[in-house]
Amino acid sequence: MTDTQSETRVGNYFVSNYPPYSFWKAAQREAVDSVLTRTPPDPKDNLPLGIYVHIPFCRKRCDFCYFKVYTDKNSKEIRRYISGVVRELELFAQMPYLRGRKPSFVYFGGGTPSYLSADQLQELFAGVQKSFAWDDVDEVAFECEPGTLSEVKLQALYDLGVTRLSLGVENFDPEILEWNNRAHRADEIHRTYDFARKIGFDQVNIDLIAGMVGESDENWSRCIDKTIAMAPESVTIYQMEVPYNTTLFKQMKERGADAAPVADWDTKRRWTQQAFARLQKEAGYHMGSAYTASHGDRIRFVYRDALWRGADMLGAGVSSFSHLSGVHFQNEHTFDAYVDRIEKGEIPISRAFSLTEDELFLREFILQMKFGDLGMAYFRDKFGVDPLKRFASELQGFVDQGLLLLGGDRIRATPDGLLRIDEMLHSFFLEEHRNARYA
């Protein structure tokens, strides 16, 4: 790495919410009760509700993973957890604010949702639908690790109503997968993908990570070749980061290393730009956000789009995050604490944050900047704020750097700006939320 300013160092780069999670506190837990006991929103307000279900089980923990996952749970513990998630949703469904509401999207994330057996999946899906009917669901998204999927399990997911599979490929090279402690192997990627197509899934997303340990120009180019050849409906590319609670960071601490043994930011951005440019030029994809290219007008990311536009989202499972009517909250972050509270008949919330009207505006503006193209009328109509005036100085600075374009009452990111979107977002944080640990 020649540019020390560009080295990948420990910390969160990707902005997934606002304000940062480190500001969410147990002392604000009562704010959740004030929401849950309200009357539900008027259907005329058209406020979507989504359900997120966290499945924290994995065959192995990837060295770069910072999510709440477990690799040591037996079948009895997994059954206990599934029962806990189902019971949690039953408890929420009894609350006035959520009673009778139907989700427009459901998202199963992890961990590895596909770690569950077909029988366990059927039990989980039935339990979710018992509390929140899926009559009006537009999308049921499901994250997968290729090595955990058989044709039988994929058929079960299809029959259960999954509309979009997200395959955590990350890289196609066997050695790079092994060096980063990924559980699946390269040959399992194509086997799983072929099964999914045979069964009839018509929305498959492939996840890639630019800059994993061992990545090279030659390998990355081959990854793009293989992705284009497979022709998934969408491709999501993340630039490798090293949050504090990763195995990779622990290894860095043991070696006394300041920089991570992965590609620097300039290289990761170049690789990401190369991939998206080729997807657009050679295969007709179009950019839907700073991270995702899609093929065809019918492909939608209902979960993402609704969440970035202020939808209610109820998260179930250990450490899951929720957002209801302007209040963030998170569940207990350890397996036993989460399940124990549910088995006592308690809703297992551990911390919360009640947003002001200004923070609600900032959250939506920051998240929608990730689209790379957003109109100002939305924010004036909804919040009475014009971002072009509120952030005139910050925006002009990014225009001068060639990262943004202003005009036609819109903010547009340039190709270089899309690659650095998360870096820019911190400039729009309130002063008290800057330079703080993210999680």
pLDDT in tens, 245-288: 899 999 999 999 989 999 999 999 999 999 999 999 999 999 99
Q: Which two tokens stand for residue 68?
A: 């709440």
Task: Say whether both 371 and 281 belong to one domain.
Answer: no
- The verdict on residue 316 lying in a domain is no
pLDDT of residue 112: 96
> In this predicted model, what pLDDT tens digit does every residue of 338-363 receive, in sequence order?
999 999 999 999 999 999 999 999 99
Task: Say whether both 365 and 298 belong to one domain.
Answer: no
Residue 363 belongs to a domain with what CATH number? 1.10.10.920
Task: Say whether both 374 and 295 belong to one domain.
Answer: no
- The verdict on residue 420 lying in a domain is yes
User: Considering 265, 290, 307, which residue would you say is the last residue of a domain?
Assistant: 307
- The verdict on residue 352 lying in a domain is no
Task: Say whether both 289 and 393 belong to one domain.
Answer: no
Task: Say whether both 283 and 376 belong to one domain.
Answer: no
The total number of structural domains that make up the chain = 2
Task: Say whether both 117 and 195 belong to one domain.
Answer: yes
| Greatest CA separation for the chain | 58
* Domain extent at residue 437: 357-439
The four Cα atoms 77, 315, 320, 64 give a dihedral, to 10 degrees, of 100
CA 243 to CA 246: how far, in whole Å? 6
User: Considering 273, 288, 307, which residue would you say is the last residue of a domain?
Assistant: 307
> In this predicted model, what pLDDT tens digit does every residue of 85-129 receive, in sequence order?
999 999 999 999 999 999 999 999 999 999 999 999 999 999 999
Question: Average pLDDT, stretch 27-55?
Answer: 95
Task: Say whether both 19 and 145 belong to one domain.
Answer: yes
CA 296 to CA 281: how far, in whole Å? 14
User: Considering 307, 338, 370, which residue would you say is the last residue of a domain?
Assistant: 307
Task: Say whether both 113 and 248 belong to one domain.
Answer: yes
> In this predicted model, what pLDDT tens digit does every residue of 130-189 receive, in sequence order?
999 999 999 999 999 999 999 999 999 999 999 999 999 999 999 999 999 999 999 999
- The verdict on residue 317 lying in a domain is no
- The verdict on residue 217 lying in a domain is yes
pLDDT of residue 44: 83
CA 417 to CA 421: how far, in whole Å? 6
Task: Say whether both 410 and 261 belong to one domain.
Answer: no
Residue type present at position 280? Q
DSSP assignment of 300-369, as one string?
Answer: --HHHHHHHTT-EEEEESTT-EEEETTEEEEE-SSHHHHHHHHHTT---EEEEEEPPHHHHHHHHHHHHG
- The verdict on residue 332 lying in a domain is no
89 to 154, 169, 437: CA distances (angstroms): 25, 31, 31
Task: Say whether both 302 and 377 belong to one domain.
Answer: no
* pLDDT of 2 strictly over 50: no
- The verdict on residue 28 lying in a domain is yes
- For residue 210, how far is the Cα from the chain centroid? 16
pLDDT band at 11 (very low <50, low <70, confident <90, very high): confident
Task: Say whether both 287 and 414 belong to one domain.
Answer: no
- The verdict on residue 405 lying in a domain is yes
Question: What pTM does this model have?
Answer: 0.96
Residue 140 belongs to a domain with what CATH number? 3.20.20.70
Count Cβ atoms within 10 A of the Cβ of residue 169 and give its class: 0-12 exposed, 13-18 middle, 19 or more buried.
buried
pLDDT of residue 1: 29
Task: Say whether both 126 and 265 belong to one domain.
Answer: yes
